[in-house]
Amino acid sequence: MKQPMFQTIYPYLRTNKKFPNVWCPGCGNGIVLGSLIRAIDRVGLSKDETAMISGIGCSGRLPVYVDFNTLHTTHGRALGFATGLKMARPEMKVIVIMGDGDALGIGGNHFIHAARRNIGLTVIIVNNLIYGMTGGQYSPATPTDSFATTAPYGHIEQTFDIARLAEAAGAPFVARSTVFHVFELEKLMEKALTKKGFAVVEAISNCHTCYGRQNGMSTPVSMLKWMRENSVPISAKDSKGEGKITRGILVDRDLPEYTELYDQVIERARAAGAEGLR
Ligand SMILES: Cc1ncc(C[n+]2csc(CCOP(=O)(O)OP(=O)(O)O)c2C)c(N)n1
Ligand code: SF4
């Protein structure tokens, strides 16, 4: 018999230490966390072999609440810490959680180069379209023409398409869904967890407090409806997806993974050293 959702999630939470959480009621971060835990549970990863790393932001609090090996690091630098850990312990499953500002603003350079290297990390970008924790400044993912505390008369910049950026930088797996499409989201996370290399899942999430309130969607429900109405599965893109967010697996290809290539470099260096000693 299938377990009720909370029975799956509960054993993974640091209930005795870190709760209640800091999130606004109805924040999408809780849905992302639930999806991720269920995906990890289905893949069957043990707590000891799993590490979760984040920067700073509301989404950056995710690892704080779960009982894995966790690092809550500095804003924009989660991928730097994660790269170090993966190089030292390549056998570990290293999951990186970043906000859109964290991943693409201050951390944008780390993001493109980690994707280019194709280092084996599972990367979850919680794209709530705004800087949530600091009060609603626009991020590189904020839609053009929307409103933010730093764009009270309308946002004039173009928006990064996170998935296309990840693909162009070299990521072998890129997927996207929303916190409205919760079961789809966790299936994509499950796939990303089993993919070798730099596997990115963009989870479009609701910050009704900072983004929604400034853009006519001040409740979680109104933002979830917006996600339902403004996204289409990748398969429907041509017929009814004009101008909408595409969901599903957007890139899936096999490329050499960095820590495996690095092992080969170590072997070559050892062989050259042994040759030199003869
Ligand atoms: C080096 C540095 N610069 C700026 C900040 C302030 N700061 C904290 S969180 C944040 C933005 C958070 O937005 P995002 O990464 O999108 O995550 P969210 O809170 O929306 O989940 C900023 C600018 C900081 N903590 N450290
Ligand atoms: S400010 Fe936004 S992202 Fe942060 S907890 Fe509240 S709803 Fe969530």
Asked if residue 170 belongs to a domain, the reply is yes
Residue 14 has φ and ψ, to the nearest 5°, of -90, 65
Asked if residue 266 belongs to a domain, the reply is yes
Task: Answer yes or no: is the C-beta of 107 below 6 A from any ligand 2 atom.
Answer: no
- How many separate domains does the chain show? 1
Asked if residue 258 belongs to a domain, the reply is yes
Structure tokens, 87: 């190089």
Task: Answer yes or no: is the C-beta of 131 below 6 A from any ligand 2 atom.
Answer: no
Asked if residue 227 belongs to a domain, the reply is yes
- The amino acid occupying position 109 is N
Ligand 1 centroid distance, CA of 103 (Å):
10
Asked if residue 181 belongs to a domain, the reply is yes
Tell me the pLDDT tens digit for each residue of 225-262.
999 999 999 987 665 667 899 999 999 999 999 999 99
Task: Answer yes or no: is the C-beta of 62 below 6 A from any ligand 1 atom.
Answer: no
Query: Which pLDDT value is given to residue 238?
Result: 60
Asked if residue 13 belongs to a domain, the reply is no
- The amino acid occupying position 94 is V
Residues 32 and 124: beta-carbon distance below 8 Å:
yes
Ligand 2 centroid distance, CA of 27 (Å):
6
Query: Which pLDDT value is given to residue 169?
Result: 98
Averaged pLDDT for residues 84-92: 98
Structure pTM?
0.96
Asked if residue 264 belongs to a domain, the reply is yes
Tell me the pLDDT tens digit for each residue of 151-204.
999 999 999 999 999 999 999 999 999 999 999 999 999 999 999 999 999 999
Asked if residue 18 belongs to a domain, the reply is no
User: 3-state class of 16 per DSSP?
Assistant: helix
Domain, as residue range, for 142 = 23-277
Domain of 259, CATH number, reads 3.40.50.970
Structure tokens, 60: 């950056």
